[in-house]
Structure 1
Amino acid sequence: MNPPEIHQAGVRDVEFGARVRIVDPCNLYGCKIGDDCFVGPFTEIQKDVMIGARTRVQSHAFICELVTIGEDCFVGHGVMFVNDTFSTGGPARGNKDLWRETVIGDRVSIGSNATILPVRITDDVVIGAGSVVTRDITSPGTYAGNPARRLLADR
């Protein structure tokens, strides 16, 4: 019987801004986290992710490679980012050429348990809890549902 290969969660090769707060346990590696950010427990932030100043990432979030998050954002509990669109009918199986990037603007709030596929989200957007964002969001506003759609403003 062969023993398993064990990788320890931890914080390594991270470029931190000033006054960043993280709550263990976290798995952060090869990413950049701006000034005055907060990262909650049980969070994974993978390499080459960039998180802007004053952004809060709550517990149990997963932020995969090829994600950029702007300044003054909020990422709720259990938010999942996806970089593999299964464009070949199945998972990329490590073929990073099949992955796509996600870019989140400034002052974006993403509700708990939302799923964000490879998209671009403009500034000043609210994503409702449990929403699935499948397309670019180019206008500020509130979006919710699966797939996420813009909600009409109350009159």
Structure 2
Amino acid sequence: MVTGKRYRAAMPQFQEGLRKAQLIVRRFNDMSPDDVDGRMALLRGFFAKCGERVQINQPMRCDWGCNISIGHDTFINFNLTILDEAPVTIGNHVFIGPNVSIFTACHPLDAEERNTGDEWAEPVTIGDNVWIGGCVTILPGVTVGHDSVIGAGSVVTKDVAPHTVVAGNPAGVIRHI
């Protein structure tokens, strides 16, 4: 999956891995909001990397967890969804609003080919000092450059250059900062 090559998503070993990850996500979401240390300890053992002073509000969802890396001093509001079939890297000092979705999984456009269950994944990278507004969707293969802002409700289909404000569906450049 993480190599970008095609794979069959319904393979039993994938289903077992997804089930195990779902159990960890459920545990995280069911933990008391007062148990900050316990919630972060759980995520540090689940994610590939989770920096210091990271706050992730409940609930959150992800597919694997082990493909997610988060830098330090990052705030993530509630209802984050990450389909992390490929690596998802979130930098330092990132603010992510509520109801944000980050997708790495890709499916064929041709219906017959799509019905085979084959898919592939493309990584998503979010640089340092990025602010992502609420209800943003980031599609597979996108890199968001350092010091950028993504306006609320945007669908990010292409890379975002550093020091840039983008918004809309599809997200377009509003201005450079």
Give TM-score scaled by structure 1 length: 0.76
* Identity %, equivalent residues: 30
Residues 22 and 74 of structure 1: CA distance in aligned 2, closer, same or farther (over 3 Å): farther
Question: How many corresponding residue pairs?
Answer: 138
Equivalent of residue 36 in structure 1, options 39, 53, 60: 53
Question: Contact (CA 8 Å) 1:85, 1:117: kept in 2 or not?
Answer: no
Question: Contact (CA 8 Å) 1:71, 1:107: kept in 2 or not?
Answer: yes
Match of 1:129?
A: 152
Equivalent of residue 169 in structure 2, options 119, 133, 146: 146
Q: CA deviation at 1:105?
A: 0.3
AA aligned to 1:38 is Q
Question: Contact (CA 8 Å) 1:23, 1:39: kept in 2 or not?
Answer: no
Cα-Cα RMSD = 3.0
Deviations 1:16-37 (A, max 9, x none): xxxx94797xx95730211001
User: Which ranges in structure 1 are unaligned for 5 or more consecutive residues?
Assistant: 12-19
Map of 1:4-153 to 2, 5 A cutoff? 8=23, 9-11=26-28, 21=36, 28=43, 30-31=46-47, 32-45=49-62, 46-65=65-84, 66-89=87-110, 90=114, 93=117, 95=119, 98-118=120-140, 119-152=142-175
Structure with greater helix percent? 2
Residues 149 and 102 of structure 1: CA distance in aligned 2, closer, same or farther (over 3 Å): same
The whole-number CA distance in structure 1 between the counterparts of 2:115 and 2:146 is 30
Question: Which one scores higher on RCO, CA 8 angstroms, separation ≥ 6?
Answer: 2
Match of 1:15?
A: none
Question: Contact (CA 8 Å) 2:154, 2:167: kept in 1 or not?
Answer: yes
Q: CA deviation at 1:91?
A: 7.9
Question: Contact (CA 8 Å) 1:82, 1:116: kept in 2 or not?
Answer: yes
Question: Contact (CA 8 Å) 2:166, 2:175: kept in 1 or not?
Answer: no
Give TM-score scaled by structure 2 length: 0.67
